[in-house]
Amino acid sequence: TFVNILSSTYSYEEYKETADWLLAHTEQRPKVAIICGSGLGGLGELLGDRNVFQYKDIPHFPTSTVPGHAGQLVFGKLQGRECVCMQGRFHFYEGYNIQTVSYSHCCNCLVLFIRKAKTVFLLEMSCMSTVPEVLVARHCGLRILGLSLITNKVVTEYDSTERANHEEVLKTTERRTLDLQRLVSHLITKI
């Protein structure tokens, strides 16, 4: 599904409204943000004391249209640490612009995490859409740890009969999910 919001920009008031809504709906003040790509949102299921919000219910929050992205913001605790987990991200190939791709970080930086979050984990299969998120998070002074899972090989020949496909990405991710969950669960104890 192609989302036609290429000219969308957000005002300070819209970012603040999103952040204020989240502050009013959860008492959790996470120290760690975990942003999960395709098929990796299961990490959010490991959080205890969970508060789950559908992206569509959060004011001005974009929605993810990619299979394997649940479209939920999950607040909770992992290994005793307060976390927020984005189960799904936003991408340029969905038709979103840079303001929308990085929207969650902007509203987090304004109010919710600016004094609280110490580290952002980016769990993604490729780097294709993490650059804007990293730029915004670093601008806000957050530390970033990006973990990439290579799920399929790149098809480089234009006339090749091989095709990259999202189902292959999800299948590989499913096989490696437990390893990534164990790794992140261990790393979070070191923060």
Q: What is the rounded distance in angstroms from the CA atom of residue 70 to the CA atom of residue 10?
A: 23
> Is residue 186 annotated as part of the catalytic site, yes or no?
no
Residue 1 lies in a domain: no
Residue 54 lies in a domain: yes
**Cβ burial 70-81 (10 Å sphere, 16+ → b, else e):** bbbbbbbbbbeb
pLDDT at position 4 = 41
Show pLDDT as tens, one digit a residue, over the chain (191 residues): 444 444 457 888 888 898 899 999 999 988 888 887 776 777 888 899 999 999 899 998 888 877 667 788 999 999 999 988 888 777 777 777 777 777 776 665 564 433 334 455 555 444 556 777 777 778 877 777 777 776 767 777 778 787 777 777 778 777 877 888 888 888 888 87
pLDDT at position 1 = 40
Containing structural domain, residue 173: 12-188
Which residues fall within 8 angstroms of residue 82, CB to CB, at 6 or more apart? 28, 29, 30, 31, 32, 75, 76
> Is residue 25 annotated as part of the catalytic site, yes or no?
no
> Is residue 125 annotated as part of the catalytic site, yes or no?
no
Residue 6 lies in a domain: no
Q: Choose, from 27, 93, 148, 168, the residue flagged as catalytic.
A: 93
Residue 84 lies in a domain: yes
> Is residue 117 annotated as part of the catalytic site, yes or no?
yes
Give the other-Cβ count within 10 Å of 99's Cβ. Answer: 16
pLDDT at position 64 = 80
Q: pTM above the 0.95 mark?
A: no
Q: What is the rounded distance in angstroms from the CA atom of residue 60 to the CA atom of residue 100?
A: 10
Q: Choose, from 82, 94, 124, 133, the residue flagged as catalytic.
A: 94
pLDDT at position 128 = 55
Q: Choose, from 117, 124, 125, 133, the residue flagged as catalytic.
A: 117
Residue 30 lies in a domain: yes
First to last CA, the chain: 38
**Cβ burial 135-173 (10 Å sphere, 16+ → b, else e):** ebbeebebebeebebebbeeeeeeeeeeeeeeeebbebb
Beta bridge partners of 143: 119
Number of domains in the chain: 1
Q: What is the rounded distance in angstroms from the CA atom of residue 168 to the CA atom of residue 189?
A: 32
pLDDT at position 125 = 43
Residue 112 lies in a domain: yes
pLDDT at position 111 = 45
> Is residue 166 annotated as part of the catalytic site, yes or no?
yes
> Is residue 17 annotated as part of the catalytic site, yes or no?
no
> Is residue 94 annotated as part of the catalytic site, yes or no?
yes
Q: Choose, from 33, 69, 82, 103, the residue flagged as catalytic.
A: 69
Residue 4 lies in a domain: no
Q: What is the CATH number of the domain that holds 111?
A: 3.40.50.1580
pLDDT at position 77 = 94
Q: Choose, from 86, 91, 104, 125, the residue flagged as catalytic.
A: 91
Cβ atoms of residues 83 and 75 within 8 Å: yes
Residue 153 lies in a domain: yes
> Is residue 148 annotated as part of the catalytic site, yes or no?
no
